[in-house]
Amino acid sequence: MSITTIFFFLMNRKIDLSQRLLMAQSLNLHDRQGVVGLVRHALAGTFILEGLGTAILWLRFYPVYGLFKGLGMGVFHSISAFCNAGFNLIGEAGHYSSFSLHSEDAAITLTITLLVIIGGLGFFVWEDILRNRRFRKLHLHSKMVIAVTVCLIAAGWVLFYFTERTNPATIGNMSLPKAAIAGLFESVMPRSGGFSIVNQADLRGLSKMVAMILMLIGGSAGSTAGGIKNVTAGIVFLSALRSLRGRKRLAVFRRTIPEQQIVSALSITILALTACFLGTVVITLIQPELPFIGIVFEMVSAVATCGLSQGVTPNLVPAARIIVTVFMFFGRVGIMTVGMAAFLKRDHVESIKHPDTWIMM
């Protein structure tokens, strides 16, 4: 939809109501007001940020790869990082090496990290920050995205750093500042970034579990990231906390979350977990000789469209690769979207209201 909008801008054509509605739907917006301006700012911001990323990466790649190849590497990795794609051209050091050759270059790792974070925030959050500038004036969605993003990055950073600090196969041999930057990098990348500076198979068990949780959550709605989305995870967590505290309504930043959205968040989470479980079961039955934790990691990465791997995928037989591909497609289009397309044949009208009752839980 953004690319289609570019042609309207170039031809100086007026965007009618139906096109504005489509643009709003493609960005997960409920209101079409200001959607054209939002898309215009999103396009401009994308090119500016990717341009800045290209310039910084080019300065660092130039001494290693030369003038023109360094520029090409800078452009490719800036776009890949901002779009949370995870593709890289630095695998020359070996399989799954990703950015390990530049693991101690703070300029490269921090630039890639910032591009992934900004791309994962979402266009609506950019626009909201641009217009309101103060946290207390932001919309609830933006507040939740920023709050959950900060919490996830901080928690992942601490857990990765202290778990892997004594692991010589990952960051154990790095100096303190470089190990801290590496911990931040590894905390951000599972949230659909897809890059790595250490072999994911060398991570310790706790780090693998943290990485899978972060992959499943992903970025925010309306962003370039995958996963169930951070606001969804935040609503599920806060809803569980609400139940423990015995409250009937869920209030966040002095706003009440509708019960229907809570149900939707729980449904998305359960469907995503079910998809990971089913994919893992099928691949395990097809190839029981593969490491189980590696299969789980690969399936979570596929459903979350993250791209991180522990080296299992190249060893899959064609049938298992098709399974991974199908679940990747589900993850990209949306588990909820695919489910509704498959089962919602027509508008369902609930004409009968059965009596309420309580069951044991």
* pLDDT tens column, 222-275: 777 888 888 999 999 999 998 888 888 888 888 889 888 899 899 889 989 999
Cα 8 from chain centroid (whole Å): 29
Residue 357: which pLDDT band, with cuts at 50, 70 and 90?
Answer: confident
Residues 248/219/123/114 CA torsion (nearest 10 deg) = 130
Assess contact for 23 and 35: CB atoms under 8 A. yes
Q: How far apart are alpha carbons 240 and 218 in whole angstroms?
A: 20
Between 44-53, 159-168, 332-341, 350-359, the lowest mean confidence (pLDDT) is in: 332-341
Radius of gyration of the chain (CA): 22
55's tokens: 């310039």
| 95 pLDDT more than 80 | no
Q: Is the separation of the CB atoms in 112 and 77 below 8 Å? A: yes
What confidence score (pLDDT) does residue 224 get? 77
Residue 7 has pLDDT above 70, yes or no: no
Cα dist from 340 to 226, 271, 304, 346, whole Å: 19, 12, 19, 10
β partners of residue 8: none
The C-alpha atoms of residue 110 and residue 113 are separated, in whole angstroms, by: 5
286-339 pLDDT tens trace: 999 999 999 999 999 999 988 888 888 889 999 999 999 999 988 887 777 776
Residue 69 dihedral angles phi and psi, to the nearest 5°: -65, -40
Length of the chain: 361
Q: Which of 340, 337, 142, 131 is nearest to 230 (CA)?
A: 142
DSSP 216-270: HH-S-TTSS--SS-HHHHHHHHHHHHHHHHT-SSEEETTEEEPHHHHHHHHHHHH
Cα–Cα–Cα angle for 126, 130, 132, rounded to 5 degrees: 115
Are the C-beta atoms of residues 179 and 171 closer than 8 Å to each other?
yes
Q: Over range 7-29, report the average pLDDT.
A: 64
pLDDT band at 27 (very low <50, low <70, confident <90, very high): low
The rounded distance, in Å, linking the Cα atoms of 141 and 231 is 8
- Is the pLDDT confidence value at 212 over 80? yes
pLDDT at 88: 85
β-pair type (250-252, 255-257): antiparallel
Which residues are registered as beta bridge partners of 190?
A: none
DSSP 3-state of 338: helix
How confident is the model over 174-184, as a mean pLDDT?
Answer: 89
Maximum CA pair distance of the chain?
Answer: 74
pLDDT score of 297? 94
**More confident call, 213 vs 36:** 213
What is the structure's pLDDT at 123? 79
Q: The dihedral of CA 208, 209, 215, 221: what is its sign? A: negative
Kindly state the tokens that stand for 14.
């007026």
Average pLDDT over residues 12-28: 63
Q: CA-to-CA distance for 90 and 293, rounded, in angstroms?
A: 26
Res. 345: pLDDT tops 70:
no
The whole-number pLDDT of residue 110 equals 93
What mean pLDDT is reported for the chain?
Answer: 85
Q: For residue 229, is it left (φ>0), alpha (ψ between -120 and 50) or beta?
A: left
Task: Judge whether residue 344 has pLDDT over 70.
Answer: no
**Amino acid at residue number 44:** A
Location of structure tokens 């479980």: 277
Checking if the pLDDT of 3 tops 80, the result is no
Query: Which pLDDT belongs to residue 277?
Result: 94
